[in-house]
Structures are given as structure tokens and as C-alpha cells.
Amino acid sequence: MLAVLKKEINAFFASPTGYLVIGLFLVVNGLFLWVFKGEYNILDSGFANLEPFFTLAPWVFLFLIPAISMKSFSEEIKQGTLELLLTKPLTTVELVLGKYLGALVLILLAILPTLLYIVAIWYLMSPGGDLDSGVILGSYLGLIFLGACYAAVGIFASILSPNQIVSFILAIFLCFIAYFAFEALATLNIFGSGAFGVEELGLNAHYESISRGIIDTRDVIYFLSFIFLFLALTSFILNKKKQS
């Protein structure tokens, strides 16, 4: 597994992909938070907090993480190297985890420089102001969990097609459904009182919950279960390919 992880990280940074993904994440967030006028601009909001960042970042990740993960298996299938990988002394679980952790490392590296935003907010606060460290910690933890869920979906999408563009679009669609659709469905009230709790099936409800600074085990279990589900589905499909 470590060999696959190392190979994935080297592949990201041996080409412009890794640098481009990290750069785009920082540039897009930076422009919306500090330059462009609008609801996400911290300087215009009148409040020195990072809420706009944690509202915007999931939507930026919605496109960037599928771009990271789209070639994980698609490229191997297209080039015919997947069969070679499956002959290695690796279980399918180790192969999937190696690919997944490679994408997760890149996501963490993209998030890391945004810690400078905390310093910027601290300087913008009025004298005597106090940062709500619990909310900030919870929000960063929620963002990491959300990115990890997106990556699991992206890895799953990449095993379904040898075409990277197809995998990319499919991953965006599935991530969008998982993040937004259940909450939107609940607001339609088409199920009447039966719609209670529908939004709890989606990522957004748990992301917002953990971002309040209270680490609820139900949210953690939800995120871990979500990741396990999509990685298990990926391993299942990979096993089918191995047997065929």
C-alpha cells in the first residue's frame, strides 16, 4: 500500500497536476475572500471570521477533488496497467487505500496554507477580540472530512470508466447529490412530515453540524461510514475486474 501511495504522490508532483490543484484552490478562495466584492468577501462583511471560507471551500472542492481523483483508476484502465497492478502482491483493499490516501494527502496540502487566514483574521479583529478556536477547529475538521468524502466518491467514479472526463463529470454529479440534494429534497416538503431527517442523509448537514465547534460522534461516524461505503464499492468492482 505504501508503494502505491508513494507512486500516487510522485505522480501528482512529477507533473503540474499537484501544483495546479493546490494553486487553484488557494487562488479561487483568495480572490473570493479578499478581492472580489460579494457575500464571501471578508473585508466587506464587517465581521472578522472565517465563515465565508468554510461556506465557499466545499463548492471549490466539488470541482477540484474530482479533478485530482479522476485518473486514479481511469488512467490505469486506459493504459492497460491495471492488470499489471492486480498481479502485484497487493490486495485490492491495499490498492484502493493507496490510491485514496494519495488523493487525501494532496487535499491536506491544499488546506494547510489556508491556516494563514487565521492569522489574517486575528489581525483584523478589534483590540480585545477573541478567536473562537472551537469553531475554527471544528470547521477545519469538517472540511477535511468533507474532502475525504469527495475523494472517496472520486476514486469510486474513476473505477467505473476508462475515460477521465466521464469519471470527472460522474464524480462531480455524485458529490453534488451527496452534498446538496438531500437538503434540497427536505425543503420541498413533498413527503410532508415524513421528510423529517432527510437532510441528515446528506453531507452538508453533518458538515454544518461539526463546523459549530462541537465534535459529535454521530457526525464522525457518518463521515467514516460514507468513506467506507464508497471505498468498499470501489474494492468490490476492482475484485470483479480481477476475476474477469
The tens digit of pLDDT for each residue in 184-204 reads 776 766 555 545 567 788 899
The answer, as to whether pTM is greater than 0.85, is yes
- Give the per-residue pLDDT at 244: 67
Q: Does residue 180 surpass a pLDDT of 70? A: yes
pLDDT of residue 128: 54
Could you tell me which of 61, 57, 70, 88 has the C-alpha nearest to residue 12?
Answer: 70
Distance CA 16, CA 216 (A): 38
- The mean pLDDT value for 32-40 works out to 87
CA distances from 54 to 7, 31, 44, 58, 124 (A): 31, 14, 17, 7, 18
- Yes or no: say if 204 and 226 are a contact pair by the CB < 8 Å rule: no
**Is pLDDT above 90 for 54?**
yes
pLDDT band at 147 (very low <50, low <70, confident <90, very high): very high
Retrieve residue 24's grid coordinates. 487553484
Residue 116 in grid coordinates: 494563514
Distances (CA, A) of 33 to 50, 58, 81, 175, 206: 9, 14, 42, 23, 24
User: CA 35, CA 152: separation in Å to the nearest integer?
Assistant: 32
Instruction: Tell me the residue type at 107.
Output: I
Give the pLDDT mean for 94-107.
93
pLDDT at 121: 86
Domain positions in the chain are: 2-243
Do the Cβ atoms of 175 and 156 come closer than 8 Å? no
**pLDDT tens digits, residue range 208-236?**
999 888 888 999 999 999 999 999 999 99
* pLDDT for the residue 146: 96
The pLDDT of residue 186: 67
Residue 47, judged by CB atoms within 10 A of its CB (0-12, 13-18, 19+), counts as: exposed
3-state secondary structure of 89: coil
Q: Tell me: pLDDT of 129 over 80.
A: no
> Chain centroid to CA 108: how far?
10
